[in-house]
Amino acid sequence: MEKIEKWISNNKDIEQELIRLRRHFHEHPEVGHPLPQTQEYIVKLLEMYGYENIIVNPGGSIEVLVGPHDKKILLLRSDMDALPLVEHTNLPFKSINGSMHACGHDMHASMMLMCAKLLKKNEKKLKGQIKIVFQPHEEGLVGCKMMIEDGVLKYPRVDAAVGLHVMPATEDKTGTIRTIRKAMTTASTIFEINITGKSSHGSMPEKGIDALRVAVHIYQQLQEIIPKEISMSHDDVLTIGIMNAGKAHNIIPEKAYMKCSLRSYRPDDQEYIMGRVNELVQSIASMYHAQAGITILQQAPSVYNDPALLKSIMDVEKDVFGGYIKKLELPLTISEDFGHITANVPSLFVTLAAGCKQDGYIYGLHNKATIFDEGCLMYGLYFLYNAAMNWNVKY
């Protein structure tokens, strides 16, 4: 395979097409599931590339197969959903529909589409079969699970999987690819707390049960769990991002609502912390004569990189990427529902630097002002393409 710099230099036409794809996705973002416009666009292009048996699953994922049948199958996965953010950039192709690709899924989808095109064009050179999958609703941490329930890993059975995620505002030069053995991201649990008290006039608080008061005490006590009960070396994070109660200044609120997320690398920490959350919520509500319930909304396990698969793939990629391949020093604190795949088949997940801070790319993921360096696209594409072309050859 050609070295990365030479390959990019020799394929400027591919780069321009890749950028056009990315800008289309960026200008037309859709959130969650379903993603009708995004799905229609991807299916149309896959048909143009020569794919015939295109499957659109009930859960909204799109899948195609390329390469010889009755061979081991490598799954390449891309997400394609956006975030409910109003974009605040000056890009000429910025979104104007109230949503935004602030997590780079437009980059992922465009790289995967172009990879699908190249693999179809070079299908006779493939020694193994490649399953290409486009996934909705990653941001809700449910899309991957829905995809698996639709049989993506079984029909036909997948032997290994590869995914990537762009990262802006890094210290690395654009195009740098990083990964780490074993746990790469945190596991995540998203949950809500609903508190019910009793409303009364603000001048007669003794006749009511203040749900907001209960929520405030719950908030304070939940913040004590990790620093006082968990080793500081475990890097667990509990975030209470939403707390709502009341609609008038002179009414004791009957209802209060909290939405929270827990991130941790250790399953036993997740279990312990959620157990303590439940204990504290129930005891505090009871102490103030209120009622409270906890509902788990979404969960995703940690993304786990299979050591053997990582070594075999990265050894091959180093031959063409050279110094652009680097070890990730510490696992990422973000969560990714690709963890549902890594829990089922040997997998590799990598990050792709999409803008260095020193070059002005100062906003990270999920920011309304985030800008990604499109120069990373060819690096990510070539990484995926190489992984596919060497499947069932060198690993």
How far apart are alpha carbons 200 and 203 in whole angstroms? 8
Domain count of the chain? 2
Name the domain boundary from 300, 327, 353: 300
How far apart are alpha carbons 127 and 142 in whole angstroms? 33
User: Per the domain annotation, does 288 fall within a domain?
Assistant: yes
Length of the chain: 395
pLDDT at 66: 98
pLDDT at 333: 87
Phi-psi region of 137 (alpha: psi -120 to 50; beta: other; left: phi over 0): left
How many CA atoms lie less than 13 Å away from 298 in the CB half-sphere?
Answer: 22
How far apart are alpha carbons 254 and 355 in whole angstroms? 48
How far apart are alpha carbons 21 and 384 in whole angstroms? 17
Instruction: Decide: 92 and 19 in contact? Cβ < 8 Å.
Output: no
Positive or negative: CA dihedral 334, 340, 343, 347:
negative
**In the chain, where does DSSP find H-type helix?**
4-10, 12-27, 36-48, 105-121, 143-149, 211-229, 267-287, 307-321, 339-342, 377-389
How far apart are alpha carbons 25 and 106 in whole angstroms? 5
Instruction: Decide: 341 and 144 in contact? Cβ < 8 Å.
Output: yes
Tokens of 117: 């095109």
Strands 347-353 and 160-167, sheet pairing: parallel
For residues 282 and 217, state if they share a domain. Answer: yes
How many CA atoms lie less than 13 Å away from 257 in the CB half-sphere?
Answer: 7
For residues 256 and 324, state if they share a domain. Answer: no
User: Per the domain annotation, does 169 fall within a domain?
Assistant: yes
User: Per the domain annotation, does 94 fall within a domain?
Assistant: yes
Instruction: Decide: 285 and 214 in contact? Cβ < 8 Å.
Output: yes
For residues 76 and 179, state if they share a domain. Answer: yes
For residues 131 and 240, state if they share a domain. Answer: no
Name the domain boundary from 300, 326, 354: 300
pLDDT at 171: 96
How far apart are alpha carbons 264 and 258 in whole angstroms? 20
Tokens of 119: 């693999």
User: Per the domain annotation, does 394 fall within a domain?
Assistant: no
Domain residue limits at 106: 4-185+302-389
For residues 18 and 159, state if they share a domain. Answer: yes
How far apart are alpha carbons 162 and 147 in whole angstroms? 15
Q: Residue 100: which residues within 8 A CB-CB, separation 6 or more?
A: 29, 82, 83, 85, 86, 87, 368
For residues 178 and 58, state if they share a domain. Answer: yes
Longest pairwise C-alpha distance within the chain: 79
Q: Residue 202: which residues within 8 A CB-CB, separation 6 or more?
A: 249, 250, 251, 252
- Across the strands, what pairs with 251? 201
The whole-model pTM stands at 0.90
Among 240, 263, 261, residue whose Cα is nearest residue 186:
263
How far apart are alpha carbons 185 and 300 in whole angstroms? 10
- pLDDT, tens only, 189-228: 999 999 999 999 999 999 999 999 999 999 999 999 999 9
How far apart are alpha carbons 216 and 211 in whole angstroms? 9
Instruction: Decide: 300 and 339 in contact? Cβ < 8 Å.
Output: yes
pLDDT at 105: 98
CATH code (residue 77): 3.40.630.10
pLDDT at 394: 80
Please list the ranges in the chain whose pLDDT falls under 70: none
Distances (CA, A) of 332 to 219, 267, 303: 26, 16, 10
pLDDT at 119: 98
Name the domain boundary from 245, 266, 300: 300
pLDDT at 70: 84
User: Per the domain annotation, does 331 fall within a domain?
Assistant: yes
